[in-house]
Amino acid sequence: MKTTELSCIIVDDEVVSRETLENYISNYCENVSIKALCKNVAEGIAAIKEFHPRIVFLDIEMPYGDGFDLLDQTSEFDFEVVFITAFSNYAIRALNMSATYYILKPVDIDELIGAVEKIRANVLATESNETTLHSKILLENLKVANGQMQRIVLPQLTGFIVVPVNTILYAQADDNYTVIYLTDGKKHVVSKTLKFFDDLLSEIGFIRIHKSYLINQNEILEYKKGKIGQVKLSNGTWLDISAQRKKDFLERFM
């Protein structure tokens, strides 16, 4: 059965990285044609304009402009971005919050194949304005002072929704899913674990108080002492603080 063909370009300042990725794509990713190998942002922008690729494999840290500069200088988005990066902290949180594909160096072949196949599966259903929105949110999150992310993309079975981070009241674990409760009373079920959101949000004002709860520190109204302890959130909800996490909660909050 023939699969949808995808065109791509590779933008990376390191020759070895470009050639290694070219080899992996050519040998392991079915029906992906490589249109250009680019060593900097300027060459990448020129190749995008010339070839209109469906995928841009993009390094983040490069001389004379990084990968985010390329996105910032691209006026029309009709492609998906797969970041190939050695970054592991702030940039990764921004990528996750915008639901962007990324692969950490050194490149794992299975992760590469998985990213390509996810894009292929969505290529007919995904409209270019959705790609533009993902990239726009990514750039917004990266540019905000003090690392305070603005918006987060929550994948849904029918697509995705975008919510401001400061409207998240708390998140509750539900096996391999997480229920996100918003300050307006709405809730959304996301096919990510609570640990994923803990890693993503713990450095920007969210506190894990229980194996089942991650809360927005700014929404706490009251704390009640006790062997377990409880917090009251702005909507009136009371949540338990586990004994194991009470000390960390008090130290961080106070």
Same domain (yes/no): 128, 173: no
Domain boundary among 118, 143, 168: 143
Residue 14 resides in a domain: yes
Q: Where are the alpha helices (DSSP H) in the chain?
A: 15-28, 41-51, 67-72, 90-97, 109-122, 128-143, 194-201, 243-253
Residue 31 resides in a domain: yes
Same domain (yes/no): 32, 137: yes
Report the candidate in 41, 11, 39, 6 with the shortest Cα–Cα distance to residue 113: 6
CATH number for the domain that contains residue 157: 2.40.50.1020
Q: Is the pLDDT of residue 136 over 50?
A: yes
**Amino acid 153: pLDDT:** 84
Same domain (yes/no): 78, 176: no
Q: Is the pLDDT of residue 97 over 70?
A: no
**Amino acid 177: pLDDT:** 92
**Amino acid 192: pLDDT:** 86
The residue ranking higher by pLDDT, 91 or 237, is 237
Domain boundary among 126, 143, 160: 143
Structurally, the chain folds into a number of domains equal to 2
Residue 88 CB neighbour total at 10 angstroms: 9
Residue 212 resides in a domain: yes
Same domain (yes/no): 121, 189: no
What is the pTM assigned to this prediction? Answer: 0.66
Same domain (yes/no): 33, 158: no
Same domain (yes/no): 37, 132: yes
User: What's the burial of 190, exposed, middle or buried (CB within 10 Å: 0-12/13-18/19+)?
Assistant: buried
Same domain (yes/no): 139, 164: no
Alpha-carbon gap, residue 39 to 157, rounded angstroms: 37
Residue 1 resides in a domain: no
Q: Say which amino acid occupies 13.
A: D
Range of the domain at 94: 6-143
Q: Tell me: the pLDDT tens digits for 147-196?
A: 566 888 888 777 778 888 899 999 999 988 999 999 999 999 998 899 98
Phi, psi of 53 (to 5 degrees): -70, 155
Average pLDDT over residues 228-249: 92
Same domain (yes/no): 207, 224: yes
Average pLDDT over residues 235-240: 96
Same domain (yes/no): 241, 178: yes
Average pLDDT over residues 23-31: 95
Domain boundary among 112, 143, 174: 143
**Amino acid 149: pLDDT:** 62
Same domain (yes/no): 14, 133: yes
Same domain (yes/no): 88, 62: yes
Same domain (yes/no): 155, 242: yes
Residue 205 resides in a domain: yes
Residues 6+ apart with CB under 8 A from 15: 39
**In residues, how long is the chain?**
254
Q: With contact defined as beta carbons under 8 Å apart, do 48 and 71 qualify?
A: no
Alpha-carbon gap, residue 181 to 178, rounded angstroms: 10
Residue 101 resides in a domain: yes
**Amino acid 1: pLDDT:** 43
**Amino acid 124: pLDDT:** 60
